[in-house]
Amino acid sequence: MIKHRGFPGRLPGTDFQFTIRRANPRGATPLTRRERYRDRKAVDKRADAVFLAALWEHFGDQPFERGNLDAGRLSWLFGREVVPADDSFDPESYEALLQIDENAARAAFPEVFEE
């Protein structure tokens, strides 16, 4: 499992985790698309935006390996702003390649891309 050095470990002041410390010996937690409902708490939405901003800062529009990125946090963006980078995607692999869908990300989180 690759560790993304310099990537924030969590949202400051909260328990929202962005990375994991070590690989699960039984395998990676599968990535699944989680539904984001309109009544989500503001702090949940902020965690998604900060996580996406960190992904964009570290990887931009280039494919990246899942590695030590938290499956729960990725799942809130998976299938919309973060998509599989190739056809051989395995949702239960730490080596799975992902990519930010820039158009979807800009539409859902315009504040992340403001300059």
Question: Considering its fold, how many domains does the chain have in total?
Answer: 1
pTM of the model: 0.90
* Domain housing 111: 1-115
pLDDT per residue, tens digit, the chain (115 aa), is 889 888 999 888 888 999 988 888 888 899 999 998 988 999 999 999 999 999 999 999 999 999 999 999 999 999 999 999 998 999 999 999 999 999 999 999 999 888 6
Residues 6+ apart with CB under 8 A from 59: 99, 100
Q: Rounded to whole angstroms, how far apart are CA atoms 74 and 52?
A: 9
Using CA atoms, how far residue 77 sits from 25, 32, 48, 110, in Å, is 25, 9, 7, 14
